[in-house]
Structure formats: structure tokens, C-alpha cells
């Protein structure tokens, strides 16, 4: 089958098994979130952005402290129109961000290695989100609990109800910051390699090698109480 390049470019690959397609027509919420490089891969609709955020476990938070940029990997959770990060109240990252500095939160899902006929056209299939803005601390204990519930249920659905919940002291030792999704963009590359016409005769394998994050067999803790069974992972718990 000969692929229509325009369909590949905009990610409209439903018939090729793509999970979802960006909703075309949504506009960037600000000029600085507009994808300029390969703009046809940009998406700004919340459905696309939320789906990427909700599939990823880890984000990278970028900020500058004393003129030194840091990009720190950390867990996160989305609740509605906001993303939350958490950590020790002593965390440099959380204390700096709570000081009202500009921040950039990035999430990346890697879907495949794209092997082209030419080195130049090698690529990667991905879905990513960039959120720009400032973080603010969550002070209300009920809101903190709610964010922690979202964190634990992301690691394993239902975990909040099963595990011991935080004490007031533990809650106090935990900082939680929120960032709104007011300025967010997604970028997606899907589909096969795009070689130069002259290279299609080059005798090397070309195509996509899919990559995904798989759930392995649970490894019980050595102090696990007798008779406690491991969680059952359903396909929806497998993060792709």
C-alpha cells in the first residue's frame, strides 16, 4: 500500500493501528507553545494532550536556579486541567519551583525506532507534551490527599484504597506543586520512514521497530506476609 504522505504527517493513521489522531484545527494557546519545527506534527487539543499525559509515568521538569538550568525527572499525575508533582519538602526542585520561577514540564512516550534507507532520514515515533508556566504549592491538606491518591492510583489502579494512607506528619513532609495546562502542546510522529525517492532502491531493511513499556512478572518483597497475592494486571494497566 502506498501511503499518503499528508496522512502520515498529520498522524491520521487510524487504519494503520494508530491509537488516536490529534484533533486537527485546535490552535496553540500561546505563541510560545506553537510547534514551529515540523508544525504538522503539533497538536493542541486537550484530548490528545491528556491521553499522552495519562499514559506516561514520568515527566521532566525544567527550571533555572542561579542561572543554572536543571531538567529533573519525576513522577507526576494529571487531575483535570492541572498536572501535579510531589516530593520531599526539602527537595531543591520543589522549593525552587514554589518560588515562582518559570518552568517547563515535558512528557515523552517512545513508540518505535524508524529505520530509513538513508542515515539522514532515521527517526523515532513518539508522542510528547510540553507544558509551560509556573508551579504553585498545594497547601490544603484535602487537596494534597487528593493529589497523592492520584499519584498512587497511577502506579497501580486502586492502590490508594489498598495501602496505608499518609499520616498528618507524612503529609506535612510532602510538598505538592501544581501547574495548569493553560499553555500546553503535543507533538507526534507516527508511521513509516520517509526516504528520499532516489533511496527507495537502496538494499537495506527499512521500517519501524515498535517499542513499548511492558509490565513484567511481579517480584514479591522478601517480607511479604504469607498469603498476600500480587496485583492482577489487566491490559489497561499495561502502560502500552
Residues in contact with ligand FAD by the rule CB under 6 A: 32-37, 108, 110, 124, 126, 128-130, 185-187
Q: How far is the CB of 12 from ligand FAD (least distance, A)?
A: 18
Q: How far is the CB of 131 from ligand FAD (least distance, A)?
A: 8
Tell me whether residue 83 or residue 176 sits nearer to ligand FAD (CB atom).
83
- Residue 8 near residue 114 (C-beta atoms within 8 A): no
**3-class secondary-structure state, position 93:** helix
Where are any strands of DSSP class E within the chain? 42-43, 58-65, 68-75, 77-79, 82-88, 102-115, 123-134, 136-137, 174-180, 183-189, 207-210
Q: Assess contact for 113 and 38: CB atoms under 8 A.
A: no
User: Scanning the structure block, which residue is given the C-alpha cell 513499556?
Assistant: 213
Q: Least Å distance between CB 81 and ligand FAD?
A: 17
Which residue's CB is nearer to ligand FAD, number 152 or number 185?
A: 185
The answer to whether the beta carbons of residues 172 and 179 sit under 8 Å apart is no
Q: Which is nearer to ligand FAD, 30 or 88 (CB)?
A: 30
Of 125 and 174, which has the nearer Cβ to ligand FAD? 125
Residue 97 burial (CB < 10 Å; 0-12/13-18/19+)? Answer: buried
Alpha carbon of residue 52 to chain centroid: 5
Q: Between 50 and 149, name the residue whose CB sits nearer to ligand FAD.
A: 50
CA 53 to chain centre: 4
Residue (33 or 152) nearer to ligand FAD, CB: 33
Least distance between ligand FAD and beta carbon 38 (Å): 7
Rounded least distance, CB 60 to ligand FAD, Å: 11
Q: Where are the alpha helices (DSSP H) in 30-167?
A: 46-55, 92-98, 141-155, 159-162
CB of 47 to ligand FAD, least distance (A): 15
Which residue, 82 or 111, has its beta carbon nearer to ligand FAD? 111
Find the shortest distance in angstroms from Cβ 110 to ligand FAD: 5
Q: Residue 150, exposed/middle/buried by CB under 10 A (0-12, 13-18, 19+)?
A: middle
Amino acid at each position: 500500500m502506498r501511503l499518503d504522505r499528508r496522512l502520515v504527517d498529520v498522524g491520521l493513521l487510524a487504519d494503520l493501528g494508530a491509537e488516536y489522531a490529534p484533533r486537527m484545527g485546535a490552535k496553540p494557546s500561546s505563541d510560545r507553545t506553537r510547534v514551529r519545527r515540523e508544525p504538522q506534527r503539533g497538536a493542541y487539543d486537550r484530548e490528545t494532550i491528556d491521553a499522552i499525559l495519562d499514559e506516561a509515568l514520568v515527566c521532566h521538569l525544567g527550571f533555572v536556579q542561579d542561572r543554572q538550568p536543571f531538567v529533573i525527572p519525576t513522577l507526576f499525575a494529571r487531575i483535570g486541567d492541572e498536572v501535579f508533582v510531589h516530593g520531599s519538602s526539602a527537595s531543591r526542585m520543589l522549593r525552587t519551583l514554589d518560588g515562582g520561577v518559570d518552568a517547563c514540564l515535558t512528557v515523552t512516550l517512545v513508540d518505535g525506532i524508524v529505520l530509513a534507507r538513508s542515515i539522514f532520514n532515521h527517526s523515532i515515533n513518539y508522542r510528547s507534551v510540553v507544558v509551560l508556566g509556573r508551579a504553585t504549592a498545594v497547601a490544603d491538606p484535602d487537596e494534597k490527599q487528593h493529589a497523592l491518591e492520584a499519584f498512587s492510583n497511577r502506579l497501580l489502579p486502586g492502590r490508594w484504597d489498598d495501602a496505608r494512607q499518609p499520616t498528618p506528619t507524612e503529609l506535612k513532609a510532602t510538598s505538592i506543586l501544581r501547574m495548569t495546562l493553560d499553555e500546553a502542546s503535543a507533538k507526534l510522529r507516527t508511521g513509516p520512514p520517509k526516504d528520499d525517492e532516489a533511496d527507495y532502491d537502496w538494499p537495506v531493511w527499512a521500517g519501524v521497530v515498535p517499542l513499548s513499556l511492558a509490565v513484567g512478572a511481579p517480584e514479591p518483597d522478601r517480607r511479604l506476609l504469607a498469603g498476600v497475592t500480587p496485583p492482577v494486571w489487566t491490559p489497561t494497566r499495561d502502560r502500552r
